[in-house]
Amino acid sequence: MTVNAQRILDRCDALARHSEQPDGLTRVFLSPEQHAAGALVRGWMGDAGMDTRIDAIGNVVGRYEGLHAGSPCLMLGSHLDTVRDAGRYDGMLGVVAAIECVADLAARSLRLPFAVEVIGFVDEEGVRFSSSLSGSRAVAGTFDPLLLDKRDADGVAMRDAMRESGLDPARIDDAARRPADVLAYVELHIEQGPVLEAERLPVGVVTAIAGGNRFDVEVTGMAGHAGTVPMGLRRDALAAAAECALAVERVARSLPEVVGTVGSIDALPGAINVIPGKVRFTLDLRAPGDELRGRAVAMLRGEFEAIAARRDVDLALTPIWEARTAACSPALQRQFTEAIHAEGVRVHHLPSGAGHDGMAMADLAPIGMLFLRCGGGISHHPAEAVTVEDVDVAARILARFIRQFTPPHR
């Protein structure tokens, strides 16, 4: 095998130097750093024997032809943009490892019955324009043109930033691929959670990218003097919200693989000597199946209503976001399982609670994901860490998967 794990890590380091700030890593959509990182990746793709291009939204695409030129492809990739003050593996590792696997094919002069493409997506994190998955949505043909009107913190619209980058916002559709041309989309990504570490495993097979619901919740009670209103006569909105937060925890714990979080809470008027009359909090709920997620939402609505009734407060639940579950192809999961076995590693399946480009790519092709253990489950943070041993195993599994890939039925 010629897969070189140290080179993968070195290249992640090299990409991390293309950052908005010198003492950390931030690389957002349509920035000079994006162009520099893209150029670097393109060079590596070329060295691995691939034809390269930048597509209509700025994704970097490399293609390694199969036995017959113009064959449909197995597409591998991840994203090259980051959150603010990011780690250096979330996204980049999947792109760089895929290039390494293609370099391995080229070194063996091996042509497969299908083409292999590697794609480095732009704007998965969506930091600059609060967009997210723009690059993969463009490839899947589901990019929403209304996003072009979104503005960054400096008031620059996405469409103008695209023009400044030499891209034509009217031609984003050109990035879309035909389903017949993409046999599957497969991504290696750090886990961003602590499960593989707890299982003492370097990799895991992803079953599904969890769907989610987000709500704004507003609780209205009655404000009053903290000294004069007896406990029995209070309609304390914050105490009710606290009970709701505990109900979220209870419901999520009662259902397998469901997670629920109250991440933000505001109490009004917000004074030490006033009973809170109004409270707003957020609710983020995720599940690896849509039926399960629907059940969790229904249970929570019931709990919230009961709490509101018992405490004589009004409670309004406003949906602000919803995403369906993107299931990973069972056939691709089986092929990953075989490749993991062949490398002598125990197979573990797990859902992804975080979103990934695969959510968008699922509209185009069957998707598969392989998770890599990361230190402490930490991500979106400079402390993000992987080991060269784990990267070596993961890259060998990915290389084996590619060589043995059989297109799943749709």
Task: Return residues touching Zn ion (CB under 5 A).
Answer: 90-91
Write down the least CB distance from residue 380 to Zn ion, Å. Answer: 9
- Find out whether 39 and 82 touch, Cβ atoms under 8 Å: no
- Find out whether 208 and 260 touch, Cβ atoms under 8 Å: no
Closer to Zn ion by Cβ: residue 90 or 191: 90
3-state secondary structure of 111: coil
Write down the least CB distance from residue 135 to Zn ion, Å. Answer: 12
> What are the tokens at 388?
């060269």
Phi/psi for 353 (5° steps) reads: -80, -20
Burial 301-320 (b: 16+ CB within 10 A, else e): eebbeebbeebebebebeee
Q: How many helices (H) and strands (E) does the chain have?
A: 11, 16
Strands, E assignment, 80-210: 115-121, 182-190, 203-209
Write down the least CB distance from residue 89 to Zn ion, Å. Answer: 9
Closer to Zn ion by Cβ: residue 91 or 211: 91
Write down the least CB distance from residue 368 to Zn ion, Å. Answer: 16
Closer to Zn ion by Cβ: residue 120 or 288: 120
State the Cα angle at 87 between 81 and 93, rounded to 5°: 65
Write down the least CB distance from residue 77 to Zn ion, Å. Answer: 11
Write down the least CB distance from residue 189 to Zn ion, Å. Answer: 6
Strands, E assignment, 191-240: 203-209, 211-220, 224-225
Write down the least CB distance from residue 188 to Zn ion, Å. Answer: 11
Closer to Zn ion by Cβ: residue 288 or 358: 358
> What are the tokens at 409?
């039925």
Whole-angstrom Cα distance, residue 7 to residue 4? 5
Segment holding 282, helix H or strand E = strand 278-287
The CB density around residue 71, as the number of other CB atoms within 10 Å, is 17
- DSSP 8-state class, residue 184: E
Closer to Zn ion by Cβ: residue 189 or 235: 189
- Distances in whole angstroms, Cα of residue 93 to Cα of each of 8, 43, 384: 7, 16, 12
Write down the least CB distance from residue 128 to Zn ion, Å. Answer: 16
Phi/psi for 272 (5° steps) reads: -65, -25
Write down the least CB distance from residue 103 to Zn ion, Å. Answer: 23
Whole-angstrom Cα distance, residue 364 to residue 136? 10
